[in-house]
Amino acid sequence: MTHQLRDDIRSWWDLDADHYDRSAGHSLSDPVEAAAWRAALERVLPASASRVLDAGAGTGSLSLLAAELGHRVTALDLSAGMLAAARRKAEERGVSITFVVGPAEDPPEGPFDAVIERHVVWTLPDPVAALRAWRAVAPAGRLVLFEGSWGGEGPLDALKDRAAAAIRWIRRDAGDHHAAYPEHVVERLPLAGARSSAPFVESVAGAGWRRIRIERLHDVEWARSSRDPWPLGWLSRRSQYAIVADA
């Protein structure tokens, strides 16, 4: 990754930091959705008190849940602005988390028992390199990717997206981000338009992780779609899954 590309990505997320948590899906401020994510973490993480690296932690939604479950969490993110928001939330909730500003491809030294991420791998210009770096700091640990088919899984999804956008425009809903992601950045992201779980699984295998397994996050999908009034929840629903592997 060039320094300019990394700077562009960092700047965009720094600008988004004040806007990001306005979305309930980002902040996990909805108690039902937070409960669904908490259940997912309990299913896939090792026993409590494990050392967990949250790569691309953003404003700390998963870091907070993992720490509240008893894990020792290190939150890593390229954006100092995003981690500042995460730090404020941790202080408000009395949760102890270690914060590290840096790129996902250059994680802090481990060893970690698990590396987790939520909706981050698609934002990486070289996801295999990042996954390989995470394996190096968790040499006997576990990988957990929380991702989704963000590009949709068929032509119907494009129609549903347009219908949802029209309804949100009529309702004057605020967007999930402060602006659209820069096109010149999206062009460099191999997983940005993923239409199935296959590219994520292939990247995990390419980075040398073993015993790869996957589960559909039906409870998370349900919680997200039920938060919005019909038909917005149905129109916006995307397949989400946890991809778990061992080093």
- Residue 235: what pLDDT? 87
- Residue 243: what pLDDT? 98
Q: Considering just the CA atoms, what is the radius of gyration of the chain in Å? A: 17
Residue ranges of the chain whose pLDDT lies below 50 = none
- Residue 158: what pLDDT? 84
In whole angstroms, how far apart are CA 11 and each of 16, 80, 97, 138, 168?
A: 9, 10, 24, 29, 27
pTM of the shown model: 0.94
Spell out the domain ranges in the chain.
3-246
Three-state helix/strand/coil letters over 32-95 = HHHHHHHHHHHHHCCCCCCEEEEECCCCCHHHHHHHHCCCEEEEEECCHHHHHHHHHHHHHHCC
Q: What is the percent of the chain where pLDDT is above 90?
A: 81
Burial 179-211 (b: 16+ CB within 10 A, else e): eeeeeeeeebbebbebeebebbbebbeebebee
- Using the 8-state DSSP alphabet, how is residue 208 labeled? T
- Residue 34: what pLDDT? 97
- Residue 126: what pLDDT? 96
- Residue 228: what pLDDT? 87
Query: Which residue is associated with the tokens 């999804």?
Result: 157
- Residue 183: what pLDDT? 94
Task: Identify residue 86 by its one-letter amino acid code.
Answer: A
The DSSP result for 136-176, as a single string, is HH-TT-EEEEEEE-TT-SSHHHHHHHHHHHHHHHHHTPPPS
Considering the segment(s) 3-246 as one domain, its CATH architecture is: 3-Layer(aba) Sandwich (3.40)
